[in-house]
Structure 1
Amino acid sequence: MRRRLINSTLAVVLVVIAVFGISLVLVEARTIKEAAQESVESDAVRLMSVVDGRLAGGDRVGPEILREQVAAGRYARVELDGAPDLEIGERPAGEVIEAEVTGDMGERITVRESAAVVGDQIGRAVLIILGVSLLAVLAALLLALWQARRLTAPLTDLADTAERLGSGDPRPRHRRYGVPELDRVADVLDASAERIGRMLTAERRLAADASHQLRTPLTALSMRLEEISGTDDPETVKEEAAIALGQVERLTDVVQRLLTNSRDPRTGSAVSFDLDEVVKQQVEEWRPAYRSAGRAVVCSGKKGLRAVGTPGAVSQVLATLVENSLMHGAGTVALRTRVTGNQVVVEVADEGPGVSPALGARVFERTVSGRNSTGIGLAVARDLAEADGGRLELLQQRPPVFALFLSREADGT
């Protein structure tokens, strides 16, 4: 494209110079010839006036007087009746420019100039025109190079941006070039980059969330299946199978909620539910794991509470807290329910070292972890709580106390 711009610009300039340059040469040559002819005629008329004046006064007409009236390089001849001809200057050879004047007393004056002098003047004029044309071509070439660079460099840059987008680098460059059309393309590419970046972030977040959220119910389901495989009691198998089926249903709910949150993180399906059932279900599901670790998980607090939210999401939040206590805490884990204002609260506490002061409230930020974990669990749990209009907070750092706040049913106790 750069070569095409340069070639097209030079072609236009050359055509303009050729048209106007040739016309200018023709006009200048004609002007020089006419000026030379007028100058020769002027010399002839001037000589005639001098000769007439001398003859009218009865004075002698000599070459020394007439020589001052003839321009250098020209030839003049004065023809007088009854007197020899007077010649001034050297007779030119070849083509000449000539002017002849006849006086009242029969005298005749002829002035000549070599056409070569006029040719030299025309040649100098042509050289000047060619020099100006050459400068015009050089200026046009520099302008074409600048304009081509000004247009092609942004296009190359935009092509690189598009290639980066195609290779998976969605960072917008926010570069503008002072050309409205190119700036419009840059705006579109930057907007596309931001959209692609958001989409990639959402996909990575969905993958990370799915990996973390599915791990907990799958772990619980695996423990139930181990219980089934390790017993021959039909009643125990039946009980554990029923619990496992319930966990499968909750696992399905987790997957559905993940897909819903990936489209709109604030989309909830809040309903009124029995909070005691959710807390009891979590205690029963995690008790085998705690028993294997030589620890206990218990629940206490106010009973008969009804909250507004998504049971599956609340179960997932509590499961995250209980699992964190199992992995990073110590001693007995206690789930306690209480009421504050128009909200119900589920507190999860253990006897471990808790959250370091350096982390504080940042423990809910993604990728922030003080125990070499992924740092996703608490962030996802907070998102789940906020999606139903609740909130998840760290009430106490050492020993740790996390609290899930949910809206209380209007007619609840």
Structure 2
Amino acid sequence: MRRRLINSTLAVVLVVIGVFGISLVLVETRTITSTAEQSVEAEAVQLVSFLDSKLVEQQEVTPQIVEEQSRIERYAVIELSGQKPFAVGKKPSGRVIRAEVSGEHGQSVTVEEPYSAVYEEVGRTLLIIGAVALLAVVAAVVLAVRQADRLASPLTDLAETAERLGSGDPRPRHRRYGVPELDRVADVLDSSAERIARMLTAERRLAADASHQLRTPLTALSMRLEEISATDDPETVKEEASIALTQVERLTDVVERLLTNARDPREGSALAFDLDEVVKQQIEEWRPAYRSAGRAVVRSGRPGMRAVGTPGAVAQVLAALIENSLMHGGGTVAIRTRVVGNQAVIEVTDEGPGVPADLGARIFERTISGRNSTGIGLAVARDLAEADGGRLELLQQHPPVFALFLSRVARKQEDEPPTVR
């Protein structure tokens, strides 16, 4: 493209120089020739006037007198009445410019100048025009190169940006070039890069969240299936199968929740539900794991509370907190429910060492973990809580106290006075 721009600009300049240069040469040649003819004629008139003055005074006219007194510079042939014609000056050879003038006393003067003088003047003019044309061509080449660089370099840069996008590097470059059309292309590429980055981030986040959130339900489901395969008691099989179906439902809910958050984290299906059922279900689910670790999980606080949210999401948040206490905490894990204003609060605490001081402010950030874990669980839990209009906070670091705040719905019997019979 750079070569095409330079060649096209140079071609335009050469055409313009050719058209105007040829026209200028023709005009200048005609002007120089006309000027030379006028000069020869003027000298002939001057010589006739000189001869008139001599003839009026009846002075002798000889070639020597004419050369000395008339200041003639060209070749001239003089014819006087009653005298033999004579010439002064050097006779030119080749093509000449001739002017013939007659006087009042019968004299006739013919002045000649060689055409070579015209050729020399035309040659000097052509040299000047050629020098100007050469300067114009050089200037055109310089400007064409600069303009080509100004246009080609941004296009090369934009091509590199598009190639980076295609190779999986969606970082926007935010470069502008001062050319509206190219800046528009750069804007579109930057917008595309930002969209691709968001899509890739969402996909990676979905994959990480799915691997983390599906691990616990799948493990519980595997344990139930192992119980079924290891027993011949129909009642036990029936009980374990029922629990396994519950795990499948929870697994389905986790998948749907992950997909919903991947589409729009703010989109939720909040409703009023009973917190006791969610807390009880989580305690029953995690009690075997705690028993295997020689620990216990208990609950306390206000019973019969209702809150606004998605039961499945709240269950996932509690599961993340209970699992976090199992992996990083110690002793008994206590789940406590209480009311703060118009909010229902579920606190999860344990007797472990707590959250390190350097991680307290960043504990909910992704990839932040005090030990060898993914660092995703608490971040996902906070996202789920916020999607339901609640919030998840670390109230205390030593011992650790995590609290889930949800909008509270008062039970009918709490809002209405008791009926007296």
Is the 2:306–2:410 contact (alpha carbons within 8 Å) kept by the matching residues of 1? no
1:384 corresponds to 2:384 = yes
The separation in 1 between residues aligned to 2:268 and 2:216, in whole angstroms, is: 21
1:369 corresponds to 2:372 = no
Aligned to 1:123: 123
Deviation at 1:269, TM superposition (A): 1.1
Matching residue's letter, 1:58: Q
DSSP 3-state at the match of 2:319: helix
Q: 1:400 to 1:231 in 2, by over 3 A?
A: farther
Aligned to 1:181: 181
Aligned to 1:45: 45
The separation in 2 between residues aligned to 1:134 and 1:184, in whole angstroms, is: 38
Deviation at 1:85, TM superposition (A): 4.3
Aligned to 1:137: 137
Matching residue's letter, 1:221: L
1:152 corresponds to 2:130 = no
Deviation at 1:355, TM superposition (A): 0.6
Aligned to 1:216: 216
Which stretch shifts more, 3-12 or 387-396? 3-12
DSSP 3-state at the match of 2:238: helix
The separation in 1 between residues aligned to 2:113 and 2:284, in whole angstroms, is: 127
Cα-to-partner distance string for 1:34-62 (whole Å, 9 max, x where unaligned): 10000011111111112211221233445
Matching residue's letter, 1:25: V
DSSP 3-state at the match of 2:157: helix
Cα-to-partner distance string for 1:262-304 (whole Å, 9 max, x where unaligned): 1110111111111111111111111111111111111111111
Deviation at 1:83, TM superposition (A): 4.1
Matching residue's letter, 2:18: A
Q: How does 1:76-87 map to 2 (within 5 A)?
A: 76-83=76-83, 85-87=85-87
The separation in 2 between residues aligned to 1:84 and 1:136, in whole angstroms, is: 59
Cα-to-partner distance string for 1:305-328 (whole Å, 9 max, x where unaligned): 111111100110000000011111
Q: How does 1:191-210 map to 2 (within 5 A)?
A: 191-210=191-210
Q: How does 1:248-263 map to 2 (within 5 A)?
A: 248-263=248-263
The separation in 2 between residues aligned to 1:363 and 1:59, in whole angstroms, is: 129
Give the aligned length: 412
Q: How does 1:232-271 map to 2 (within 5 A)?
A: 232-271=232-271
Matching residue's letter, 2:397: Q
Is the 2:366–2:375 contact (alpha carbons within 8 Å) kept by the matching residues of 1? yes
DSSP 3-state at the match of 1:159: helix
Is the 2:75–2:87 contact (alpha carbons within 8 Å) kept by the matching residues of 1? yes
Which stretch shifts more, 217-226 or 128-137? 217-226
Is the 1:47–1:66 contact (alpha carbons within 8 Å) kept by the matching residues of 2? no
Matching residue's letter, 1:241: A
The separation in 2 between residues aligned to 1:353 and 1:335, in whole angstroms, is: 18
DSSP 3-state at the match of 1:364: coil
Is the 2:305–2:411 contact (alpha carbons within 8 Å) kept by the matching residues of 1? no
Could you tell me which runs of 5 or more consecutive residues in structure 1 were left unpaired when the two chains were aligned: none
Which stretch shifts more, 331-340 or 5-14? 5-14
Aligned to 1:332: 332
Is the 1:223–1:289 contact (alpha carbons within 8 Å) kept by the matching residues of 2? no
Aligned to 1:351: 351
Is the 1:40–1:97 contact (alpha carbons within 8 Å) kept by the matching residues of 2? yes
Deviation at 1:2, TM superposition (A): 2.0
The separation in 2 between residues aligned to 1:294 and 1:69, in whole angstroms, is: 139
Deviation at 1:84, TM superposition (A): 5.0
Deviation at 1:86, TM superposition (A): 4.7
The separation in 2 between residues aligned to 1:268 and 1:202, in whole angstroms, is: 17
Is the 1:392–1:405 contact (alpha carbons within 8 Å) kept by the matching residues of 2? yes
Is the 2:350–2:400 contact (alpha carbons within 8 Å) kept by the matching residues of 1? yes
Is the 1:6–1:144 contact (alpha carbons within 8 Å) kept by the matching residues of 2? yes
Which stretch shifts more, 162-171 or 58-67? 58-67
The separation in 1 between residues aligned to 2:289 and 2:312, in whole angstroms, is: 21
How big is the alpha-carbon RMSD for the aligned residues of Structure 1 and Structure 2? 1.7
Which stretch shifts more, 363-372 or 29-38? 363-372
Q: How does 1:104-115 map to 2 (within 5 A)?
A: 104-115=104-115
Could you tell me which runs of 5 or more consecutive residues in structure 2 were left unpaired when the two chains were aligned: 415-421
The separation in 2 between residues aligned to 1:176 and 1:279, in whole angstroms, is: 56
**What percentage of aligned pairs have identical amino acids?**
74
TM-score by length of 2: 0.93
TM-score by length of 1: 0.95
Q: 1:26 to 1:14 in 2, by over 3 A?
A: same
The separation in 1 between residues aligned to 2:31 and 2:180, in whole angstroms, is: 49
Which stretch shifts more, 394-403 or 234-243? 234-243
The separation in 1 between residues aligned to 2:124 and 2:171, in whole angstroms, is: 62
